[in-house]
Structures are given as structure tokens and as C-alpha cells.
Chain A
Amino acid sequence: MRRLARVFTHHPRLSLTATLGAPVMWLLVVYVGSLLLLVVTAFFKLDTTTQKPTSELTLDNINVAFTTSAFAWTVIRSIGVALSVTLLCLVIALPMAFYIAKVAKPWARRGLVVAVLLPLWGGYLVKGYAWRAMFSPGSEFSASGGGGVLDSTIGWTPGFGQTALVITLAYQWLPYMVLPIYAGLDRLPASLLDASADLGGRPLRTFRSIIGPMIVPSIAAGSIFTFSLSLGDYIMPNIVGGKTQLIGNLIARTLLAPNQPLAAAFTLWPILIIVVYLATMSRLKAFDNL
């Protein structure tokens, strides 16, 4: 035992490998391995009687998944929803993060950061059904005698659908946007803002020339969370989305059909989209910030 310890002390590289080896292997086998299996599954033919994949190979699944216009629209809608959620999160998160990092008194910052994080500790489904109660369209027929919270307070609600879905998802993922931007702003020396003001820069100009360029990587990092989490969501569409379907719903529906090969073919869509998105974000130096 002691000899083994000595070997590790004298060979730091060896001890590093021993420490990281298992997790790396785990990542390779479980994560990359299962992804590869997924891709391979897309090429198997389905036995229509037993609904299990056979060993026969076919391109039909890929064909159906990538050339059917109805499914292509679902993909486009999913990207649209994910981008809208990201944009909405950004618009809300920017002033929030700026206030917390630069305006709030130092003693209040910690409390505000906790307040931003707090919703993450609540159940995802609980928040979903809470928003359902908010958006519920006005109806004289409800058990409680009125519409949802929005309808009974401000007299208007978007009802269940794409708008409600975007708002709900933006609420769910907002902290993932606020925190990276806050961290980016926190690193930004206050003296730069002062210097800009001293040189006659108005707030808008300061934001455009100083703050903006410096927090682009933070925004990109936050958007990776909001975009990918929205793109993959298939629970919220059922709760507040009305008839709206995202690519995740299509995959879940096909997997449960059960038609494993076609479901695997559909999953190639989000994989491709995320790869493109990550590549774009990495050009914006998003990963320097994680």
C-alpha cells in the first residue's frame, strides 16, 4: 500500500490519470457510447407486428424524419420557440444582472443572487402547473367561477399556446441567463464605466462600446442553457402549450409508439441543431466563461 502511494507521489501524471480515468471512461462509454447507439438505431427497420427493431438496415426512418414537411415545420417551430425564449430571457436578465452587479449595495448582492436562484429549487412540474393556473383562459364554466390569475386580475390572457409556452419556458430558465451575465458584469471593473462617463460617454454609448462587447461571451454562455433546455423540452408544451408541439414531443410520442428507430432518426434533428448552435457560440467565446 505504502509502495503504491510512493509510486503515485513520484509520478504526478500517473495519479492524475488514475483519478480522472474512471470518470473519463464513464463519459466515453455512457455518454458518447449511447449517443452513437442512438445514431445507429436510426438505421434499423421496425418489425411492424412486434414493434421492435430488427437487424435489417434501412434509410426509410431518416427519410421520413428529414423530408416530411409536417415534421420539418415542427423543427422550425421548436427553433423559433427556443430562440424566442432565449431573447426574452436576455431582455429580462440584462437589467436584472446589471442592477445586481453594479447598482445594488454589496451587502444586498448575495441576497439578490439567492433570490434569482430560488425558483430553481421549486419543482419544475409545480412551476408548470402554476403557469397553467396563470394562463387559463377566462371561462364562465370553471369550477372556481372564473378564468386564470391573469384573466381575473388584468382581464387578458394569451390562453394556452405558443405565447404561453414561451413565457413559461423563459420563466423556467431565466436564472441560467442571469447568473452568467451577472458573473461577467461582476468582473467588469467599475473604473471602466467611470472612465467612459468622464470622457463624456452617455449611458447608452457606454453600454454599446464598453459593457456590450465585454459581456457577449457571458450572454452566449447563458443562451446555450436557455436555447438547449427549451429545444429539448416536451413537458411544458403539454401543460401550457395547448396544441403546440415541439420536436421533443414528436420524439417522445414516436418512442412510446413504440417506434425506436424512427424516434432515433428524429433525435438527429436536435443533435444537429445543438452542434451548429454550440459552434456559433464558441466563436463568440462562450466557453471561455464557463
Chain B
Amino acid sequence: MRTSRKIGAIGLSLVIVLAACGSDDSSDSTADSTATSDAASSTDAPAGTDAPTGTEAPGGDPTAAPTELGEGEGELNIIAWAGYAEDGSTDPAVDWVTPFEEATGCQVNVKTGNSSDEMVQLMQTGEYDGVSASGDATTRLIAGGEVAPVNTDLIPNYADVFEGLKLQPWNSVDGVAYGVPQGRGLNLLTYNTELYTTAPDSWSEMFEPSSAAAGSVSVYDNAIYIADAALYLMATQPDLGITNPYALDQAQFDAAIELLTQQKDLVSQYWGSFTDQQAGLEDGSVLAGTTWQFIVNLALANGAKIDAIKPTEGATGWSDTWMISSQAKNPNCMYLWMDHIISPDANAQVAEWFGEAPSNALSCDLTADPEHCSTYHAEDEDYWTDVWYWETATEECLDGRTDVACVPYTEWVNAWSKLRS
């Protein structure tokens, strides 16, 4: 008697649980059904149906991209580098998201990514429509089937993008575009102008014990920074034979780790989020460090006495691409966003706010500072020859060597974790 009562009770509680789940489901499915009906109306053309959801195979065929666009879905969820999708909340005057929302009806939700690794991880969740990915993330995203090919015919502003940025190894597969270029820049050496009355010109300020900033050096806290050490070794220890900081065999890799271990004594902080680097530059606890121009701009606005340069050894850098998720729930809004963000107007604003070279050739006429494009060498290809865009290290050496195996990026991550422990 008692057991049967118990069973009944459990049964009832199950019913309640199911009912609760059911109601959750129904609210979800209403949201979903509006999305799918939009998607359905947008993809009346049979060729387009696969695009948002279908391309799981890496390097999928170009026909998988949609051939026409429908109405915006009303929402857009994107992952962006800090400063890439400003809606006026940082500075009311800096806003290229609101005009987009007003023009398209796509409500934009931005998730800031602090590193390429984090962006790959976030894209793997399948909950975002697109991402502003650097070259070390793009290759992983394409290989993992996280992103879909893009039909650039549906993005009118693509025509004005610098040819040198189109269909590069990091944003295309076999001549098929996997996104639209956003812009490029480099990881600068920032320094305190009170300490350095004459500007330093070498990364040695961050690596050598003789540095004037010893004890107050700030380093980007990510495995990709190993490439910065390799770049410095390229110039200072030529006998190691490093020709590409992302193609390191075991001996070269060990040398880079050794240099980074030596560097630890000089370091006051490793920055993971740009706000920590900005705070350090402002309160003077950081006297030299790696930085993005964007952080320098923010810190300067708050009175920091700093400047930033590209040292003689060259620098690591990034060439960023807006990509669409292969599981995008709002593909139309994402296409509209990709067109908007590389439009001359928005592209000029991002380039100036972030401090990078824009990707759209017409942006250069629209920047508030008419010299912006020449300052950031947007069209000066010579300037970029010693800038090594972030790439993902693979066992197959990126510099073309076949007689050795290179250290793959997962090992970089483990080595960095150990270094930081």
C-alpha cells in the first residue's frame, strides 16, 4: 500500500517536471518557429536551404552558401574583439551598432572575446551567429566546421575591400571565401614615456634582464604569445633557424619557452582582459608591455603617459575576418551585419576606434583623421612584411619544412599553462 502510494507520488512529480519542461519547450519553440519561418521564407530558393545549418564538412562546396537573402530575423548574436562592436556604452559618440539595428531591425547582442582561443570555444557552443576571428582562430573554425562559406555576392561592400586581404589562406578554402576581412593591425610595444625619455626600438625591453622596465613588464596572457618570443629569437639567435614564429620545431620551441621563463622575473602582470592592461598602464605599474592600439587609446584618454611602437624586430599581428556560424540561427541578420561592418562608414569608425588598418579602400576617405590610413599603413604592403599575422601552429610546419615535425598549438597551450603555473 505504502509503496504504491510512493510510486504514485513519484509519478505525479514526474508529470510536474515534464509539464515544466513542456512549458519551457513551448516558449522556446515559439521563438524557434518565428526564426524558422523567417528562414523558410528566406530560403524559398532551394539552393539556399543548406547554408545556415548544413555545412558541417570542412571546406564545403561553394554552393552551400545562400544565393539570396531574406528579411532580417530581428536578432543577431555575435562574438567580437573588444572595440569591434560599439553601441555607445563605452563612449556615447562611438556607436555603429545602433544605426545598424535601426536600419535592419536586427537587435545585436555582443559577446566580447578576450583571445582567439576563447572565440573558438564560444563558437563551438553553436549559440552565436558570427564572429570577428583572427587568423589563428579562422583556420581552427573552418577545420572544425564551425563556420560556413560566404556568398560574397550578397555583400555589396565586399567589392571595395583591398584585394590584398581577399581570399587569403586564413579566410578562404580553395578560392571560396569564409568571411569578410575587417582590418589588420599588430601587437605593439607600449612603454611609459616618463621612464623612456627616448623611445625604445626593440622587444629586448620585454625580454632582457637589462631592461629599464624590469619588474614592470606586462605580457599578453595567451599561448599565442610564444610566437612573440620566437619572433625575438628570430632576430637575436639566428642560428636557431626560425623563419616563421608559428612554425617551431621542438628545439626552437624549447628555446622560446626558455626565453619566456627568463622573462617571468621581469614581469609584473600577465593580462588576459584588456581592462587589466589598461589599468596597469594608467596606474604606472606597467612600464613596458605588449598591447593593442585600442588599449593605448583608452589609457591615453585617461591621462596615462605612454606611447606605442613597432620594434625593429617586427611584430606579431592579426588580420581579422567576420565569419558566419554554420549553425547560425539568424543568417540573414549576419549577412546584413557583415555588409554593414565593412561598409566604408562603419569600417572607418572601427578602424579609428580600435586603431587598425581598415579593410575597405573607401574607408580611408571617411576617417575623422584624414591621415589615419597612412598612419596605419592601410595600403603600404611593405610595412606588413615583418608583421606575422596570428596563425595556428600545426604539426605540419607552416614554413614548408618537411624534414621535422613542428610543435602543434595544443602543445603551445599546455606549455603556456605550465609556464604560468
Residues of chain A within 8 A (CB-CB) of B216 are: 139
A141, B192: Cβ atoms closer than 8 Å: yes
Judged by a CB distance under 8 angstroms, whether A227 is at the interface is no
Judged by a CB distance under 8 angstroms, whether A71 is at the interface is yes
A17's partner among B9, B117, B303 (CB-CB below 8 A) is B9
Judged by a CB distance under 8 angstroms, whether B124 is at the interface is yes
Q: Across the two chains, which residue of chain A brings its CB closest to B395? A: A48
Q: With A and B bound together, what is the CA distance between A262 and B46 in angstroms? A: 43
Chain-B contact segment, one of A35-43, A109-117, A250-258, A268-276: A250-258
Within 8 A of B (CB), among A40-79: 46, 48-52, 64, 68, 70-71, 73-74
Q: Which of A18, A160, A253 has most B Cβ within 10 Å?
A: A253
Q: Across the two chains, which residue of chain A brings its CB closest to B195? A: A141
Residues of chain A within 8 A (CB-CB) of B117 are: 256-258
Residues of chain A within 8 A (CB-CB) of B273 are: 238
Given contacts A17-B10, A25-B17, contact A52 B283 (CB under 8 A): no
Given contacts A141-B194, A238-B272, contact A253 B10 (CB under 8 A): no
Q: With A and B bound together, what is the CA distance between A20 and B395 in angstroms? A: 54
Q: How many A-B residue pairs have CB under 8 A?
A: 146
A71, B284: Cβ atoms closer than 8 Å: no
Interface string of B387-421 (1 = CB under 8 A from A): 00000001100000000000011100110111011
A51, B13: Cβ atoms closer than 8 Å: no
A253, B285: Cβ atoms closer than 8 Å: no
Judged by a CB distance under 8 angstroms, whether A175 is at the interface is no
Judged by a CB distance under 8 angstroms, whether A11 is at the interface is yes
- Min CB gap B328→A, angstroms: 18
Q: With A and B bound together, what is the CA distance between A17 and B8 in angstroms? A: 10
B417's partner among A137, A239, A254 (CB-CB below 8 A) is A254
Judged by a CB distance under 8 angstroms, whether B256 is at the interface is no
Chain-A contact segment, one of B88-96, B137-145, B315-323: B137-145
Q: With A and B bound together, what is the CA distance between A137 and B268 in angstroms? A: 10
Interface string of B1-39 (1 = CB under 8 A from A): 000011011101110110010000000000000000000
- Min CB gap B173→A, angstroms: 14
Residues of chain A within 8 A (CB-CB) of B418 are: 68, 70-71
Listed from nearest, the 9 A-B pairs whose CB atoms lie closest are: A21-B13, A142-B284, A50-B144, A17-B9, A258-B121, A139-B284, A141-B284, A143-B303, A70-B421
21 CB < 8 A contacts A-B: A21-B9, A21-B12, A21-B14, A24-B13, A48-B395, A51-B124, A51-B410, A70-B418, A70-B421, A139-B285, A141-B192, A142-B282, A143-B282, A143-B284, A143-B303, A238-B273, A238-B276, A243-B269, A253-B416, A254-B417, A258-B118
> Contacts A139-B287, A141-B194 given; 4 further ones with Cβ under 8 A?
A133-B283, A137-B285, A141-B192, A141-B287
Q: State the B residues within 8 Å of A (CB).
A: 5-6, 8-10, 12-14, 16-17, 20, 115, 117-118, 120-121, 124, 140, 143-145, 192, 194-195, 216, 223, 264, 267-270, 272-273, 276, 279, 282-285, 287, 299, 302-305, 394-395, 408-410, 413-414, 416-418, 420-421
